[in-house]
Amino acid sequence: MDSVLTSVILVQRISRMFHQARRHHCPLKLLLIVGALLISLTGIFPERYDLNGHVLAAFYALHSVGIFGSPVLLVLVPYLWFFEHWLTHRSGPERVPLSSLLVRTVYFAGIVGFTTALYTYGDLAQDETLDYCTSINNPAECEAWPTLPPDQCSDALRCVKDPSLCGEDFIQPNFQCEWVPSQLTNWTKAVAPKSYSNLLKCVRTKCPIYSYAQGVALEFALLLLTLCYVSTFSLHDVRRLLNRPQRGRTTEVTQEHAAAQDATNLLVSSRATEASKRLADDMRAAGGCDPSSPPTSAPATGESSYQPPASEATPRNGGGTFTF
């Protein structure tokens, strides 16, 4: 159930990110959605067998498809896309630092390593589903198994030498049997009859449990690393790469930005010139000095060069002019 829920959430998030209609986005969206759906296949477990140990549910093979397929589509595709982006943006204003690529590479190398280990060591212990021990009621026979009578041993050896005699899919037993008492609690022993509490049975023991656990642990590690990379890098990288400008328009966008900046600078310069001219006109109209003209030096005679306006040079009573 958890794998199905995780798959549905990833499909929703991936679908929401592809809002721009570009040709190369369609196959990328399809690959990522398929990778998210493959996670749900990991929930197909366990297998079903008949009395001969043959697989009844062939769909269990889809479990391996989900384990190995989801990292390829959810990790490899975004990683290669980011690597291509890093190659084309190693300099300039949109430079991508090398550290970003190195961190993703470490994650990617770990996923590749666990995938290789799972492929190599995951099937070292073949599943043996037939429990022969429960049918043995003799302590001596239980402890001796898989020691066989001479006729059975000869038939078994012929099958090992020529698998076509017994079927090519036979699996040799990888366990032993042991005659043990029933595992009862103190209360059960106190109230149960002696025939029940003294009951002994033959059970399967000495299985290759480490080999079985090794494959399960590698599966969980691979799925955990895959989901960590998806939540940390893949979704962020895909969203960022989807919003970048098209490859053919990068130069055009840069030129348009430069032209817009030049136009802005020209507009600011022209407005500053107009403001300076208006200030000079206002000061001339008020009778002050012109800020745009150079200042005049004082005469050598020591007399002031100040010339008052006509309204100050004309006497108020009309009796002649004043000279300064």
240-289 tens-digit pLDDT: 888 776 655 445 545 555 666 666 776 677 777 777 777 777 666 766 55
> Mean pLDDT of all residues in the chain?
77
Q: Dihedral sign, CA of 227, 230, 233, 235?
A: negative
With a CB cutoff of 8 Å and minimum separation 6, the contacts of 315 are 321, 322
The predicted structure's pLDDT at residue 61: 79
Q: Which residue has the tokens 């149960």?
A: 192
175-210 tens-digit pLDDT: 888 888 877 888 888 888 887 877 888 888 877 777
β-sheet bridge partners, residue 180: 201
Tokens matching residue 324: 């300064």
The predicted structure's pLDDT at residue 229: 93
Query: Per-residue pLDDT averaged across 116-136, rounded?
Result: 79
Cα 117 versus chain centre, distance: 21
Determine the Cα–Cα distance for residues 150 and 230; give it in Å rounded to an integer. Answer: 58
Q: Is the pLDDT assigned to residue 150 strictly greater than 60?
A: yes
What is the domain partition of the chain in residue ranges? 2-125+210-239, 133-207
Determine the Cα–Cα distance for residues 171 and 54; give it in Å rounded to an integer. Answer: 10
Q: Is the pLDDT assigned to residue 311 strictly greater than 60?
A: no
Q: Is the pLDDT assigned to residue 102 strictly greater than 60?
A: yes
Query: Per-residue pLDDT averaged across 55-59, rounded?
Result: 68
Q: Among the ranges 21-30, 72-81, 122-131, 195-204, which has the highest mean pLDDT value? A: 72-81
**Whole-structure pTM over 0.75, yes or no?**
no
Side chain identity at residue 27, one-letter code: P
Higher pLDDT, 32 or 260: 32
